[in-house]
Amino acid sequence: MLEVVVKTVNFIKARSLKAWLFQHLCGELGAEDNKLLFYCNARWLSKGKVLLRVYELRSEIFIFLKEGNYALAATFED
């Protein structure tokens, strides 16, 4: 599960345009947080923070991935 989360976060954060579009979508939908956090293997505390942020933004992530017709959308469908 963590691998899917890290892959999704890296997919969105890898390109500044995708990150900006995701941030803009979160703003339009009224989400409290509008940025995803990178996961760092060296800091074990970041795992919990990344998982929590992805959980909080799961519906926004699904909408973003589905609108872009990305294959990762299937993992956030349920």
* pLDDT score, position 27: 87
pTM beyond 0.75: the answer is yes
Number of domains composing the chain = 1
Domain extent at residue 57:
2-76
Task: Report percent pLDDT > 70 for the chain.
Answer: 91
Max Cα separation, the chain? 34
* pLDDT score, position 62: 93
- CA–CA gap between residue 60 and residue 21 (Å, rounded): 11
